[in-house]
Amino acid sequence: MSQTHARTSRPDDLASQLEAGFRTAIIAALAECTSVAAAQIDPLIKAAANPIFGDFQANFAMSLAKTLGKNPREVAQMVIDCAPASLLELCDPFEIAGPGFVNIRLRPETIATALAQMDNPSLGVSNANHTHTVAVDLCGVNVAKQMHVGHLRATIIGDTIARLFERLGWRVHRQNHLGDWGLPIAMTLAALRRAKVDIARVTLDDLNAAYRNAQAQGRDDEAGLAAAHATGVGAHRIAELEAQHEGAAAAIADAHDTLRRLQSGERGVVADWQKLIDVTMHEVYETAQVLGVDLKPEHNRGESFFRDRLAPTVDAFVKANLAVRDAGALVVRFDGRERPLLIQKSDGTSLYATTDLAAARYRVQDLGAELVVYCVDARQRDHFKDVFDAVKLIGWTVRPDHSQASLVHVPFGAVLGADKRPLKTRSGENFTLKALLDEAIARGRREVHARAASPDAPTASLSPSELDAIGRAVGIAAIKYADLSSDVGRDYVFDLDRMVSFEGDTGPYAQYAHARLAGILAKATALGATSGAIVIATPQERALALNLLRYGSAIEDAAAQLAPNRIAAFIFELANTFNAFYQACPVLRGSDEATRASRLHLCDLTRKVLADALSIMAIEAPSRM
C-alpha cells in the first residue's frame, strides 16, 4: 500500500533533516543544469548497512552522473561542496566511497540533541490531531459460534492497525462486522425453538452445538435420492433418503419462516435472537479483554445494522445502470473479468456482498473515513476485489469533501499445526480460541514460576499470584507477538515452545528487555542516582541512540504499509541493541557520574519507547520477570 499520509517533519527526525540538506545541496550544485528532472533531485538517503561506514548513506550520485555525463564521484563532490551550513553542522566530514556513495556520520552532539528533543510524551511520534479518519473492520464473528484461531488473527491484526493510527493521532472507527442476520442464524434459532430449549438459560456451548445441528438438519441429499431411484438400491435406503430430504426441506422452511418473522420484528423472535447475540458476545468481550484488545459493544456493526440499507443499496446500482438481470438475479459486471458480483438473488434476497457494499458506503459517507481497512481471511481476496471495484464504479469512494477514500483488504493467512495443516485439536476439531489462550497462559505461568525458583531471580520474592499475573502476560504476549511479527499474508506454524521462549524474536524476549531496563532504573533510584545529559561516546551507545530515533518513522511506516510486523521488527531490533549496550556499557558500576547519568537517561528513554511500542500491540510490559 502507498503512504496514507505525509511524513511529519520533527526536530528529532534526522533522516528528514539530512534529506532536506542534501536536496538543497543538489539544487545548488546543478543550478545551471537544465537536463536534470525534478525527480532526480532525490538524495536517496538510507540507513547505512554497516556502521563502520557511517550512520547513513546518500546514493544520488550514480543516477545524476548518467544524466550529466560525469563521473559519479565528481558529482558527489560537487554536491558536498554546496552543502548548506545547516547540513554541515549535523555531520562529521563526508566521505565519498566506491562509485560515488556519500557516507554520512552524525556528530555525537547531533544525536544527543535529537534524543533530548524526543524525550517527551510524544516520543518522537507525529500527531495528526484527528485530521484523518480510518475505519478498521476487525474480528467479524458469527453469532452462535465459538471463536476459533482465525478470529485471533482478524482481531489482533485489526486492533494493532487501529492502535497504530490512534498513536499517530487519527480518528479511528473500529467496526466489528458480526454475522448476526440472515438464514444461518435463523436456522439456529428455529432449531432451538423446535427443541423447546429455554433460550433464557442457553450457553455458548449450547449455541455452538445447535448451530452445527441446524446445518446438518438443513442439509438434504436430493442428488443422492435421485440416484437411488435410478439405480434401485432398495426400498429401505430410498426411505431413509426420502425422510432425510423431507426433514431437511421442513427445517429449511422453518428457518425461512423464522427469518421472515425476525425481519418483520415479531417481538418474541427478536427477543430470542437478541439473547443469542448477547451470549455470543459475552465470550467475545471476555476474549478481547484477555487479549488486551479494544473491542466493545459500541464497535459492533453487524449485518443487522445494515438490514434497512440493503434495498437502497441494490436500488442505487439499478438506477446507475450498474446492476443487470442474470437468470432473475441482479449482478454487477466488470470489464475484463468473467466473474460478476451477485448483489441480489432471483428470489429478491440479499447476500454478503450486498451487506459489504452497504457497509463500505456507510464507512466512507457516514463516518467520513479516508481509509477503510478490512482485516479478513485471505480466502476472501476475490470477494473484496469485486466489492471494492463495485463501490468505485458507483462513486461511493468519493468522500463528502470530494476527496477519494481508499478501501484496502489486509488478507491474513492460516494458523498451522506442526503438520503444516490448519491447526486442529487431537480429535480433529477446530481449536477454539479460548482453549488456545488457556494453554498459552498455562505455559507462560509454568515458565515464570520455574524461573522464579532460582534464589537470585528478580522474581524470587514475588507471591504465587504475582507470578501468575506475569505468566499470564507472558503467555498472551507469546501468542500475539508470534502472530503479529510474521507477514500477515502468510500462513505460520503454531509452536508454543518457541513462542514462550525468553530468547530470540519472541514476545517474552521483548518483555524481558523491558523488565531488565525497569530493574536498572529501580536500582538507580534506590542508590540515589539520577539521569542527566546524554553523551554518545561508544559504538553501542550510538547504535542504541540511532535505533531510538527511528521510532517515529517506524510507526509511520507500519501504519502506511498496514504491516504490524514492521513495528514488531522495530521492537526486536531495539531489544537486541539494548542488550548489546547492556553487555558493553556498565550503567551503575565502573563509570563516572556524568557517564552514569547519561546511560541512565538512555535506559529511561529506551524503556519508555519499548513500553510504548509494545502497547501498540496491546502487549503488557512487566517491570519484573
Strands of the sheet with 323-326, listed across from one edge: 323-326, 329-334, 337-344
Indicate the CATH number of 14-106 among 2.30.40.10, 3.40.190.10, 3.30.1360.70, 3.30.930.10. Answer: 3.30.1360.70
List C-alpha distances in Å: 200 to 146, 273, 297, 304: 18, 11, 20, 21
pLDDT value at position 271?
96
Q: Which residues pair with 326 in a beta bridge?
A: 329
pLDDT of 237 over the 60 cut: no
pLDDT value at position 38?
63
pLDDT value at position 195?
87
Place of cell 565528481: 74
CATH number of 133-179+294-412: 3.40.50.620
Condensed to tens digits (0 to 9), the pLDDT of residues 473-499 reads 999 999 999 999 999 999 999 898 899
Percent of the chain residues past pLDDT 90, beyond the cut: 77
pLDDT of 221 over the 70 cut: no
Which whole number is the average pLDDT over 600-616? Answer: 98
Q: What integer best gives the mean pLDDT of the chain?
A: 91
DSSP readout, 292-337?
Answer: T----GGGB--GGGGGGGHHHHHHHHHHTT-EEEETTEEEEEETTE
Which whole number is the average pLDDT over 369-380? Answer: 96
Which amino acid is residue 381, in one-letter code?
Answer: R
Among 290-304, 409-423, 451-465, the range scoring the smallest mean pLDDT is 409-423
The upper half-sphere exposure of residue 291, i.e. CA atoms within 13 Å in the direction of its Cβ, equals: 32
pLDDT value at position 210?
85
pLDDT of 218 over the 90 cut: no
* Cell numbers for 573: 531490533
Which whole number is the average pLDDT over 391-403? Answer: 96
Condensed to tens digits (0 to 9), the pLDDT of residues 530-568 reads 999 999 999 999 999 999 999 999 999 999 999 999 999
DSSP readout, 66-126?
Answer: HHHTS-HHHHHHHHHHT--HHHHTTBSPPEEETTTEEEE-B-HHHHHHHHHHH-STTTT--
Which of the two residues, 5 and 84, has the higher pLDDT score? 84
Question: Hey, is 1 helix, strand or coil?
Answer: coil
CB 152 within 8 A of CB 479: yes
- Domain boundaries of the chain, sorted by first residue: 14-106, 133-179+294-412, 183-264
pLDDT of 429 over the 80 cut: no
| Per-residue pLDDT band at 245 (split at 50, 70, 90) | very low
pLDDT value at position 226?
53
Which whole number is the average pLDDT over 222-246? Answer: 48
Which whole number is the average pLDDT over 351-370? Answer: 97
Which of the two residues, 494 and 514, has the higher pLDDT score? 514
Among 85-99, 226-240, 318-332, 374-388, the range scoring the smallest mean pLDDT is 226-240
pLDDT value at position 424?
74
Which whole number is the average pLDDT over 25-35? Answer: 83
CA 207 to chain centre: 30
| Per-residue pLDDT band at 216 (split at 50, 70, 90) | confident
pLDDT value at position 225?
38
pLDDT value at position 319?
97
Cβ-Cβ contacts under 8 Å for 447 (sequence gap 6 or more): 471, 474, 500, 502, 508
pLDDT of 244 over the 50 cut: no
